[in-house]
Amino acid sequence: MEAAIAFTSVRNPSTTRFSSSSSSPSSRVPQRLCVRGPWRGRRLRALRPQSQVQAPGATAADASHHDVVVVGAGIVGLAIARHLLLHTRLSVAVADAAVPCSGATGAGQGYIWMSHRVPGSDMWELAVRSKQLWEELAAEVDGQGGGGARERLGWMRTGSLLVGRTSEELATLEEMTKTLSQAGIHAEFLSASSVHALEPALSVGKDGGAMFLSQDCQIDAVQAVSLIEKTNNSYSSEGRYMEFYNDPAMSLIRSEVTGTVEAVQTSRNILYGRKAIVIASGAWTRSLLHSFLEPALTLDIPVKPRKGHLLVVENFDKVKLNHGLMEVGYVDHQVAKSNCTHMASESSEDEQGALSISMTATLDTKGNLVLGSSREFKGFSREVDKSIVKCMWERAGEFFPAMKNVPLDIDQNTQIRIGHRPYMPDGKPVIGFIPDLPNVLVATGHEGNGLTMALGTAEMVTDMILGNPGKVDCSPFSIKHRFSD
């Protein structure tokens, strides 16, 4: 969940200003959150040869040269830029149709968890490595003072409780505890009484229980992005970093001589990437690639948006939490049993339905109660569905008796975050080079794992660009032989 709720952060449907430490030329552009999908509704031009390039309003002076161009300023794209800047001498440009945290990143619940990982699975090594890198970053920030990792990352070692209330769920939790313990993760199975001792506000019933992972953590996505942006911009004075926000990518530019993709054309600039171009545009990657690639290239990466609602309740004193919480049904996206008439079966994952709601809960560093979460396929709809928010509140009330008879005033002291997780049907992100375009990489499809796996993904992409052996096997995430035409 960590970013198990990685969706677009929107306080309300109005436009919100994003505070950036940027000192690059792009900072002259108004830094505003975009409440629509960055590329939705735009007709983008296909990959073209150099001689045909004519960016609208662009001149020769608008062309800039970099070693790597990253399309997408979410947590994954910015983390890739950071890793390249810190660990190589390469120069990097980041382009985005909006600004950081206006996509999936900004609304994440922030869990950096191992509790719902499966040892030995394709995702396991990447999750372990990514959590290690977050731990190292938090320790580094703590060593710098100035409020430390809690103040600058929203970092808290809250531990996680994965809770169940039925005999079937408890059997699942016991098996998960055993498996994770054998893999070297400190995991404990807790009875109902032990759960109550840790979380007095939580009710799992006399037959319930939980799995407890004391080393699980959480971050604040906006604070983490701010820190990464500050790091990236520190390389601007060396001429190694530039950012181009509110400047959507329009097409790729191919060399007439070599046939190699050598640049990204945005609405106002031409960004040359000598070594690589990375597409890290989340749920919009599929449509963007369709626009980028020639009709003869039949690659179709089936990433699509999975909409979610997240509720932040400010100054709520009815429930005090000591840990991050998640019901076990969230792990397999099971539909919560609820009186909510809006609920739909999860059996059909199509664009029209498949709504599921599961309880997730935590407190952020400001003490706000953060509740999730919903999943549904609604395209790129950004509308708030108050009935879904009501269902989430009711679901939380089944676990927290103090909330049972408390009415929710959505318009009072609340934030509703709407966003689109980049969903992949096989449950794995796509990280690797595009066949036949050897210098173009894709890094997308993390769904609810974007925050957790950003740093490991960044390391993996850097190794791919440099041709180095990776610390994590990248083959499960490659494009080649994975998708049918």
- Going by C-alpha positions, the residue among 202, 405, 203 that lies closest to residue 319 is 202
Output the pLDDT for position 342. Answer: 44
DSSP letters along 372-398, please? EEEEB-BTB-----HHHHHHHHHHHHH
- pLDDT value, residue 6: 29
* Res 340: pLDDT: 57
- pLDDT for 369 equals 95
Residue 457's pLDDT is: 98
Task: Provide the whole-model pTM.
Answer: 0.86
Predicted confidence at residue 59, as pLDDT, reads 52
Sites in the chain below the pLDDT cut of 50: 1-46, 48-55, 60-61, 334-339, 341-352, 485
pLDDT digits (tens, 9 = 90+) for 286-316: 989 988 886 656 788 999 999 999 999 998 9
Query: Which secondary-structure segment (H or E) carries 232?
Result: helix 221-233
Task: Identify the pLDDT of residue 332.
Answer: 63
Which residues does 78 contact at the CB level (< 8 Å), separation at least 6? Answer: 70, 94, 100, 225, 228, 229, 232
Q: Which helix (H) or strand (E) holds 307?
A: strand 304-313
